[in-house]
Amino acid sequence: VDLAENSLLNKLIRNSLVESSHHVEVLQRDPSSPLFSVKSFEELHLKNELLQGIYAMGFNRPSKIQETALPMMLADPPQNLIAQSQSGTGKTAAFVLAMLSRVNGAEKSPQCLCLSPTYELALQTGRVVEKMGKLCVNIRVTYAVRGNRIPRGTKIEEQIIIGTPGTVLDWCFKLKLLDAKKISVFVLDEADVMIDTQGFLDQSVRIQRTLSKDCQMLLFSATFEEAVLQFAEQIIPDPNIIKLRREEMTLTNIRQFYFLCEHKADKYRALCNVYGSITVGQAIIFCQTRRNAKWLSLELTRDGHKVSVLSGELTVEQRAAVIQRFRDGKEKVLITTNVCARGIDVKQVTIVVNFNLPTNLLHYLDFETYLHRIGRTGRFGKKGLAFNMVERHNLPLIRSIEEHFKRGLSFLDPDDMDEIEKIDY
């Protein structure tokens, strides 16, 4: 799985903040100093044009991570911060706000530097800067990314630079476009993706070393493996650390069924009978292979269903477009293989069908993938139905699901329309 691609896809398909029911955990650099958190943007005493920019984006109040992160980021003297919270909880918006509020628009030279893992992710962040800073007329942003060729010795006038580590290094040392000593806010975004990319770790460290002692340093990650934390602590001196735990997936609201099927045609009939018997909103169907997915989409199309297929040969943009159309309800059925759907959130569906159960190389059930396919996150999760199509020889897989998750799965006969009709949700 390409982490940068996944991160980009999630941003392209997301239309709102991801809520969290957890509390933010805080580890302060100076535990004796009071801890502030804000419930409104007004409390931050921002420049008026910035406050208006935030409201124009439709933000009414700070997200959970922002409540704590923003006062720390905007404090005087500046404090360093390491922040972790899952994708979509408002990290980017938080540091963009910090950059915009610290920048001096009257001074035409780089003051904020943000590192991103890829060109596309850099652009995404830049768009947020442009939107939020729409009314900050003197503040501009530019991109230090491969392809943006700027001659040696050019005077960069934009105050906010967003770039990938390699090109930023070139701008600093080879082309001398950027004086890192003059940077007052340094952001390392998507640290988890960064450390996954060959060379970025060392390059980021080299950039960080050339910054001045009073430069504010901020690091963000959507995950918090030990390696990310180690890297973070290596690159951010004397940090405050804040964490918002990920919402756990649960099967609490999900009713799970299995159809006993002899072969592919049985599975298909079971699927059609589900469609014939209950009102299906939107459904995702998981297949084992791309070939299977293709076959199924042809069958369903022939029977008059509007389906879309998410598969590995599509580019990121094409995949984003498929998911977007599905999310907009243009297609009611999304067929996919596991490879494509991992890590991508399309959780508004009410029905998930495992045309093939997810198994590992040893043909044991892959519980994590199963949970990820059909599970929902606690408090904000909706109800749902999950249908598993299994051959007789795979029945032990069903038993292992029941045992592992301590929940029963109800048996269904592919041909028993009456039973299927009784399912209500």
Judged by CB under 6 A, how many residues of this single chain contact ligand ATP?
A: 18
Q: What is the C-alpha separation between 64 and 26, in angstroms, rounded?
A: 12
Q: Distances in Å between the alpha carbon of 30 and those of 18, 44, 72, 238, 267?
A: 30, 21, 12, 9, 61
91 binds ligand ATP (CB under 6 A): yes
- Considering only 27-35, 60-68, 70-78, 244-252, which stretch makes contact with ligand ATP by CB under 6 A? 60-68
- For the bound state, the minimum distance from the C-beta of residue 193 to ligand ATP, rounded and expressed in Å, comes to 9
316 binds ligand ATP (CB under 6 A): no
Q: What is the C-alpha separation between 416 and 276, in angstroms, rounded?
A: 12
Q: How many CA atoms lie within 13 A of 15 on its CB side?
A: 8
With CB under 5 to 8 Å by kind, the binding choice for 284 among ligand ATP, Mg ion, none is none
Closest CB to ligand ATP among 341 and 389? 341
- Considering only 90-98, 106-114, 393-401, 413-421, which stretch makes contact with Mg ion by CB under 5 A? 90-98
- For the bound state, the minimum distance from the C-beta of residue 224 to ligand ATP, rounded and expressed in Å, comes to 12
- For the bound state, the minimum distance from the C-beta of residue 188 to Mg ion, rounded and expressed in Å, comes to 11
311 binds ligand ATP (CB under 6 A): no
Residues with Cβ within 8 Å of 24's Cβ and at least 6 positions away in sequence, in order, are: 37, 64, 65, 67, 68, 85, 242, 243, 244
Closest CB to Mg ion among 177 and 218? 218
Q: What is the C-alpha separation between 300 and 204, in angstroms, rounded?
A: 49
- Considering only 62-70, 274-282, 377-385, 388-396, which stretch makes contact with ligand ATP by CB under 6 A? 62-70
87 binds ligand ATP (CB under 6 A): yes
Residue with tokens 């420049």: 47
Among 62, 110, 117, 358, binds ligand ATP (CB under 6 A): 62
Contact by Cβ (8 Å): 351, 280: yes
Phi and psi of 245, rounded to 5°? Answer: -65, 145
92 binds ligand ATP (CB under 6 A): yes
92 binds Mg ion (CB under 5 A): yes
The torsion of the CA quartet 310, 5, 232, 122, rounded to 10 degrees, works out to -140
Q: Residues interacting with ligand ATP, by CB under 6 A? A: 7, 10-11, 14, 16-17, 59, 62-63, 66, 87-93, 222
